[in-house]
Structure 1
């Protein structure tokens, strides 16, 4: 498939990550451009990636096959209303803004081919995972284009229903913060057990990294991996029993439900 011409509306961290990932995959700089209201941000992204930049959003989307809406959710409505008259019938809209539904985008832009995405912050290191949902106007070729775009920064998974975006937000969108919280707690506990703080932090960080790599590389699920490293009456079993006695699994479910509910609430608020 010929590389599409991609225009980024907004040149912040996530846009820069996607652009960097595309360039690393061999996409020519001439096939990518970006617009941003900040002159400093335009200069930075142009210097780093060799792409053309624009101050005006409407200028950036001329001749683009894919338009990536990478602005903050709070300004999305104004940006879309300003762009609506300039978007062609065959241009694909890819939104990476949290909480903005396809229905909201269609109300501001008119009937369009739209892919809504929920990437997460590890995308900044090209280790992200994204949930993607396409509306009915999106063609098979455009689905490939959107998948290629998000795959530049990690794993891209298609969703069958748009409301599943709320679950993706709860699991992977907000998920990195859950692991950061666990890292904080384990580091603090290690320090209380007598380790120097730096040692406790390094032990925790590299244990998290190693466990994640084992889980990703394994042919069995996480539950089986846990069983394999939990010797009867051993130290790991003592810790796991303590976690479960405190309602660990139920607390995780409660937390993800809270995140999913908040995602739906924000979509309703931001879509007005």
Structure 2
């Protein structure tokens, strides 16, 4: 398989690294296209055997799969400035937030579109990606896409494209929510006189341990909370403050607003 990636940013490059790491494609069958000429020397260092091009200079694209990894706001301008024609059998994989399959098909005048929403842990091969596909894409083509996506972590096929905006808000943006909470916990540690590096250690290891407990316990989240929050204790004091300030509602509304923004990106 030959793959071209339009948009050699963090996500485009992390996908590239995963494909090569698991030998899903050969380096010489990878074509990276960027609009930023200043990035080319660094990209060439990381991908010495692959083809690297400036977007404006690409006249044809010899690829079975074309991955669109530009910012959703930039997509209309990028689509209008393609210097090449997509061939009948080429597949498009979009990893842009919010942009619906129908809009991609219209802008590119091309029917074979798969839409996916990965998240940043794909950088470590620990991401999760929701994806869906246009009509006319065969089962075998979808399996090939799934193999590529699974090299970056896990993937989940969704029949209903409307759910992808929710996936964007939940897991696409989700890592930032955890970082936000972790940052607040670290700052609380320093407020209490704990050295910042030590505070980071306590919080990060707590987060890691809590994750493994969720994954390996048969108890639900409410039961796990009760296990830590004994009556009249320290945890209960913290949870009471969270509840009085409607922290859960604030988080929920924030995530719903992220979904709303994803829908707006389609224009």
TM-score (normalised: structure 1): 0.87
* Correspondence 1:94-113 to 2 at 5 A: 94-113=93-112
Structure 2 residue matching 1:156: 3-state secondary structure: strand
Correspondence for 1:87:
86
The Cα of 1:179 is off from its aligned counterpart by: 1.0
Correspondence for 2:148:
149
The Cα of 1:114 is off from its aligned counterpart by: 0.7
Residue 73 of structure 1 contacts residue 98 of structure 1 at CA under 8 Å; is this kept in 2?
Answer: yes
How many pairs align? 263
> Hey, what's the Cα distance between the residues in 2 that align with 1:58 and 1:93?
17
Structure 2 residue matching 1:239: 3-state secondary structure: helix
Residue 7 of structure 2 contacts residue 32 of structure 2 at CA under 8 Å; is this kept in 1?
Answer: yes
* Correspondence 1:159-198 to 2 at 5 A: 159-198=158-197
The 1:218–1:68 alpha-carbon spacing in structure 2 relative to 1, beyond 3 Å, is: farther
Correspondence for 1:44:
42
The Cα of 1:255 is off from its aligned counterpart by: 1.3
The Cα of 1:108 is off from its aligned counterpart by: 0.9
Gaps of 5+ in 2: none
Query: 2:146 matched to 1:128?
Result: no
The 1:25–1:227 alpha-carbon spacing in structure 2 relative to 1, beyond 3 Å, is: farther
Structure 2 residue matching 1:161: 3-state secondary structure: coil
**Pairwise CA RMSD of aligned residues?**
2.2
From 6, 10, 29, the equivalent of 1:9 is: 6
Write the deviation string for residues 212-258 of structure 1: whole angstroms up to 9, x where unpaired.
Answer: 23324445543443344444444333333332333232222211111
The 1:214–1:6 alpha-carbon spacing in structure 2 relative to 1, beyond 3 Å, is: farther
More displaced, 138-147 or 42-51?
Answer: 42-51
TM-score (normalised: structure 2): 0.88
> Hey, what's the Cα distance between the residues in 2 that align with 1:257 and 1:166?
10
Correspondence for 2:22:
25
Gaps of 5+ in 1: none
